[in-house]
């Protein structure tokens, strides 16, 4: 072991302080310590698996939502006009938008419904569509009208 007595007095004052010590050799830990860490990791994974099973079980108990189909539409040319019909039975008039931009019709709808299961949980069901139609040649864009009846949107 080195003694401070052999150093010059100017260096001995620095050597007496606590210097930051850095190990150049990796710290050796016992296999027992690694075993404890592995056991803790295993317990955590088991808890996660239980939680995952519980979540999947609750999802399976939820009633299946209704099938979602794309909004059906038909377009017919009627003389100098046209008739566009969209099946929008899942949407209220407030949830629909019909805009005309130049010779294009932009039709969209968005419906959000909150469903409660009676146990304090709830889910949201969102249904949305967007369609763009070109006005046929010869149709006056100023004369286009739309109405809604029996779950159908009529644009003429």
Q: What is the pLDDT of residue 43?
A: 94
The token duo for 8 is 């010059």
pLDDT in tens, 80-119: 778 889 988 888 999 999 999 888 999 999 988 888 877 8
CA distance 96 to 151: 12
User: 66 — phi, psi (to 5°)?
Assistant: -65, 155
Q: What is the pLDDT of residue 49?
A: 93
SS3 assignment, position 51: helix
CA distance 121 to 141: 48
Q: What angle do CA 131, 137, 139 make, to 5 degrees?
A: 80
Q: What is the pLDDT of residue 40?
A: 92
Among 107, 102, 122, 103, residue whose Cα is nearest residue 152: 107
Q: Is the pLDDT of residue 3 over 70?
A: no
Helix boundaries (H) for 16-71: 31-61
Non-local (6+) Cβ contacts of 131 within 8 A are 71, 73, 86, 106, 107, 108
Across 13-29, average pLDDT: 63
Specify the pTM.
Answer: 0.52
pLDDT in tens, 26-73: 666 677 777 888 899 999 999 999 999 888 877 766 555 544 557 788
């Amino acid at each position: 072991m080195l003694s401070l007595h052999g150093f010059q007095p100017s260096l001995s004052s620095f050597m007496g302080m606590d210097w930051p010590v850095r190990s150049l050799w990796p710290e050796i830990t016992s296999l027992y310590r690694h075993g404890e860490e592995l056991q803790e990791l295993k317990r955590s994974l088991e808890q996660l698996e239980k939680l995952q099973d519980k979540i999947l079980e609750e999802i399976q108990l939820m009633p299946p939502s209704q099938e979602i189909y794309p909004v059906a539409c038909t377009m017919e040319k009627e003389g100098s006009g046209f008739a566009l019909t969209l099946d929008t039975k899942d949407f209220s008039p407030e949830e629909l938008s019909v805009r005309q931009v130049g010779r294009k019709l932009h039709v969209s709808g968005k419906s959000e419904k909150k469903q409660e299961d009676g146990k304090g949980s709830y889910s949201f069901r969102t249904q949305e569509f967007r369609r763009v139609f070109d006005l046929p040649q010869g149709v006056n864009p100023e004369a286009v009208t739309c109405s809604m009846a029996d779950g159908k949107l009529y644009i003429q």
